[in-house]
Structure 1
């Protein structure tokens, strides 16, 4: 079968190679899955660069989430062949392959309301958004939610989940095309950071109050602007650092302005509260069935285009989700 392999760390376009590799075999409690769609995430680029918190042995196959069809079940796996599932394969044998083995205990049913590419994009980004907004920030209907990188894969999920929760959503984007995408996603106010000052625009849009909740997958300057327009008892959810710069919060500022800085590492819920992850999936499937959320899939690229697509996601030039369709 074909699979993308990384033999040395570097930029995705330079180090990902499409190779012929042996078909994997499921062991006890495992499933052999035919990959129908594999969503590209920013961590895929970090894995290629060797900058992710987990550094798999070389060579490895990137790709951390997929939608696929069960081909064969190992002993005790308990999932019938032909079942359409969402899964998170673990590196070194990730999703950018024609077939992959995954633990049966971790698969989730793919929502019938979504096609393969949309289902592949529903898991990590939307779970992160749901836990960030509801478990960590306790977002309430009627509050103002500020989402950075609102037209990106992570941000677009937060926009839709914020609207589904009854919040007023302000989306920050970079450039006219991404601003238009944010409007189409449902943002009540769109701030183009290339021509507007974020803090001033948010204050103007909220009558000087500021944002009750900030969803920040960017870090750097985005965080610096956020603390200038956070509301009384506001909550800033730290999701990641796509800018490459990790902020150094001024705790004295958090004290005098009375706001909270909340970290979110969604992957820990798989270890500490897996039941909550499954409950969240059920809620996301319900919202998808109602049409309240639907992943913004801007591109569906063939297997041969995966390395270039991962590079473009890493460079921040894409909108929504880019999905590899083997």
Structure 2
């Protein structure tokens, strides 16, 4: 089969598209003919030789990267029910890589059967980015009364959050950088789409909202824009924080929480890991019913290096997916 292999840590060009032996499913495993494989930001860090703060270990080389795949089961291990053969599935491979390939092995206990009408790239987005979003939403407890501000709204998580707010009957406000991404955020259903490159965006938004207060902040950005977004939260608001892609997190004190009646939550880490299976199921249910539609940027499997470069330079929208 063809696969992407990394023989030496370093730049994206080190990802090599080459012929490798087909994997063989062992006990409790199945072989999946891959239709789509997810690309994650942590993949780019591991390729460079580090894992950042991720629990995913840096692998021994050579390695085939990738941990999210959708496709069809073509073979099973010796103790696995043969009825899985021919079924369309999606699976998160966990700590063991191998997704950037035409075939991958996966634990049968981790599989989800995938309806034929569900696009493989959408399924891959749901099993990774979607499950994280589902965890974030469990922290938020959205209602129809909410006015939610979403930073990085044109990203994978942000685009799901806009749809979730709208599905709950609330008002979604999306921040994005540049006219094209602002228009994309608006097309997802955000009632307000704001360009954070405008230095006056926070004042303009407050003026446009009038008497309405922001009740929920979803922030994975931090930095100056995240801080301004936090400062816009109304009395009794909830800050749901899940990252600091700008390099610096939002700063606040206990006094901020007490005097403004705010709550702040971090739904990732151990809290997320204890619920992974139910969160994956929830994200796939939203995807299968069409309530969630992921933004995706796709590349052929052979162009994984190009996909990594695009992801690292923020030239992508939503989930990056490799198609076989």
TM-score normalised by the chain length of structure 1: 0.89
Deviations 1:95-146 (A, max 9, x none): 111111111111112244421222221222222222212x111111131111
Separation (CA, whole Å) in 2 of partners of 1:171 and 1:156 = 9
Structure 1: where are the runs of 5+ without partners? none
Match 1:56 to one of 55, 58, 71 = 58
1:268 CA displacement: 5.0
Residues 281 and 228 of structure 1, relative CA distance in 2, 3 Å threshold: closer
Separation (CA, whole Å) in 2 of partners of 1:315 and 1:84 = 33
Are the counterparts in 1 of residues 127 and 284 from structure 2 also a CA contact under 8 Å? no
The equivalences for 1:264-303 within 5 A come to 264-265=267-268, 269-270=272-273, 272-274=274-276, 276-277=278-279, 279-281=281-283, 283-285=285-287, 288-289=288-289, 291-297=290-296, 299-303=297-301
Are the counterparts in 2 of residues 128 and 266 from structure 1 also a CA contact under 8 Å? no
Secondary structure in structure 1 of the residue aligned to 2:153: coil
Are the counterparts in 2 of residues 34 and 69 from structure 1 also a CA contact under 8 Å? yes
Residues 1:81 and 2:85 are matched in the alignment? yes
1:201 CA displacement: 3.6
The equivalences for 1:1-326 within 5 A come to 1-11=1-11, 13-49=12-48, 50=50, 51-53=52-54, 54-59=56-61, 60-78=63-81, 80-133=84-137, 135-207=138-210, 209-265=212-268, 269-270=272-273, 272-274=274-276, 276-277=278-279, 279-281=281-283, 283-285=285-287, 288-289=288-289, 291-297=290-296, 299-326=297-324
Separation (CA, whole Å) in 1 of partners of 2:98 and 2:225 = 31
Residues 213 and 73 of structure 1, relative CA distance in 2, 3 Å threshold: same
Are the counterparts in 2 of residues 172 and 198 from structure 1 also a CA contact under 8 Å? no
CA RMSD of aligned residues (A): 2.3
Are the counterparts in 2 of residues 202 and 229 from structure 1 also a CA contact under 8 Å? no
Separation (CA, whole Å) in 1 of partners of 2:90 and 2:117 = 13
Are the counterparts in 2 of residues 89 and 100 from structure 1 also a CA contact under 8 Å? no
TM-score normalised by the chain length of structure 2: 0.89
1:211 CA displacement: 1.9
Are the counterparts in 1 of residues 300 and 323 from structure 2 also a CA contact under 8 Å? yes
Deviations 1:261-296 (A, max 9, x none): 2112277545x23553355146424xx42x322122
Separation (CA, whole Å) in 2 of partners of 1:220 and 1:325 = 34
